[in-house]
Amino acid sequence: MPSARAIFLIACLIAICGFNAWGQINTIHTAPTVSTAATNTSQQPPISIAPSDPNPKLKMPVVQSLETHAPFRVGVFNMAPFAFRSGGGQWSGLAVTLFQHIANSSGLRYSITEFENMDQAINAVENNTIDFAAIAVDPTPEFELTMNFTNAFELSGTSIAIAKHTHLPLLNLIESIWQSIIPRFVGAVLFTLVIFGVIVGLVERKKNTSQFGGGFWSTIGEGVWWSSATISTVGYGDRVPKTKRGRFAGGLWMLIAFAFTSLLAGLLSSVLTVARINSEIHTPTDLLRLKCGAVLNSAAFVDGANMKYDMTPYASMDDCLRALDRGQIGAVLGESVRLRWLMNQPQWQSLIMLPSPIVTLYSVFPVSSEVDPQTLDVINYHLLKITDSKEWEAMRHLFLGDQS
């Protein structure tokens, strides 16, 4: 058995260990309070955290002006409505005016160099003898190899112009009518005519025996005769509804018949107008069996060659349209905006432009490859800023008119 002294010493050691452990626990719990108080009463300023901006503003890059840039050498040539000489001898047009606005807003100085045709202007850009051409071109892979372009500023592409028919063959007319909606419309009119004839005949059969009497089929025949005379606006008067229900049906049929005849006249007029367009051309594939013309080296000429058309090159668009008007070629391929503008000129009233382009592109300005990218970026910035404004719509309406 252990002695009493040993037991007493063990108990003392346990008590001492317990008091040490209690002191450490109390220090852990009270330390934050002491530290916080010391921090709050010290002379050090509290740390402040700036609130984050919930809507931070993006810093837009500042577009530098071109006032210190060397004067641009700008080429132009007559290609209405994009570039032409105005009454005062100054150059005007949609492309020229747009470039002038770009130069004014960016501070760019420039000098004008005149050319005879597009080939000369494009060659000058490719050879770096000019920096910029104030004309609208449709970019092609061939152009991409030798020059730069600005951003697009006008929806364009390649469209087709053909000659109107002055004398429409009878077979073509019959075919055009048969392929239109007119046969189905006439069928609907005849069906409605019979229905109203039967209704009026049956309603009038017992009380108007002198006009709609007789057997069942006789009554139906008299009713259809009356409805036929009514829709044709002949109105013989030999058959007239006399009952209230008969007159109500008759009045309703008169209104419907008037609407039918008006719609039929409009449909016939529309079909005849469309039929006067060259009946040989309905889709772009129809051009494969015709001789087509386009300006040499233009995007339209390249598009026609790629589609395997029989292309004949001409020096200008006027030469193309003159050949089409004389019957030397069957169609002209040209830039959509310029071709539509030309179709509205008095000298080309015998020609018409098909509504859908065969290729859709966007017109751009050609730029020399020696123009540094920073300068081109500034030009594009001002170009986009102008074409996104109401002023641009006013310019388009001034030079292009109604393009619908």
Predicted pLDDT at 308: 92
Buried b (16+ CB within 10 A) or exposed e, 278-303: bbebeebebbeeeebbbbbbbbbbbb
Over its length of 404 residues, how does the chain's per-residue pLDDT go in tens digits?
456 666 666 666 666 665 555 555 444 444 343 333 333 433 444 444 444 445 554 444 555 678 888 999 999 999 889 999 987 789 999 999 999 999 999 999 999 999 998 889 999 999 999 999 999 888 878 888 899 999 999 988 899 998 876 455 566 667 767 878 889 999 999 999 999 989 988 888 878 877 787 788 888 888 888 888 888 776 566 678 888 888 898 889 889 988 998 898 888 887 776 655 555 566 677 788 889 999 988 889 989 999 999 999 998 899 999 999 888 898 999 989 989 889 888 999 889 888 888 888 889 999 999 999 999 999 999 999 999 999 999 999 988 876 55
Token pair for 4? 């009493």
Q: How far apart are CA 291 and CA 373, in angstroms?
A: 43
Predicted pLDDT at 72: 93
Q: Is 403 helix (H, G, I), strand (E, B) or coil?
A: coil
CATH, domain range 72-153+364-400: 3.40.190.10
For domain 170-275, the question of CATH label 1.10.287.70 is answered with yes
Predicted pLDDT at 24: 53
Which residues, other chains included, contact 226 with Cβ-Cβ below 8 Å and sequence gap of 6+? 197, 200, 201, 239, 240, 241, 250
Which residues, other chains included, contact 195 with Cβ-Cβ below 8 Å and sequence gap of 6+? none
Predicted pLDDT at 45: 47
How is residue 280 annotated by DSSP? Answer: T
Predicted pLDDT at 48: 44
Q: How far apart are CA 404 and CA 393, in angstroms?
A: 14
Q: How far apart are CA 176 and CA 179, in angstroms?
A: 5
Please indicate whether the domains covering 72-153+364-400 and 284-360 agree at the CATH topology level. yes
Which residues, other chains included, contact 213 with Cβ-Cβ below 8 Å and sequence gap of 6+? 205, 219
| Exposed/middle/buried for residue 219 (C-beta within 10 Å: 0-12, 13-18, 19+) | buried
Predicted pLDDT at 168: 53
Ranges of each domain in the chain: 72-153+364-400, 170-275, 284-360
Domain at 284-360, CATH class: alpha beta
Token pair for 246? 């008969």
Closest CA to 130 of 99, 151, 171: 99
The 3 state secondary structure assigned to 62-80 is: CCCCCCCCCCEEEEECCEC
> How many CB atoms sit inside 10 A of residue 334's CB?
25
Taking each helix axis as running N to C, give the angle between helix 94-106 and helix 390-400, from 0 to 180 degrees, rounded to the nearest 10.
150
Q: Torsions phi, psi of 107, nearest 5?
A: 80, 15
Predicted pLDDT at 215: 81
Predicted pLDDT at 395: 92
In this structure, the chain runs to a length of 404
Predicted pLDDT at 30: 41
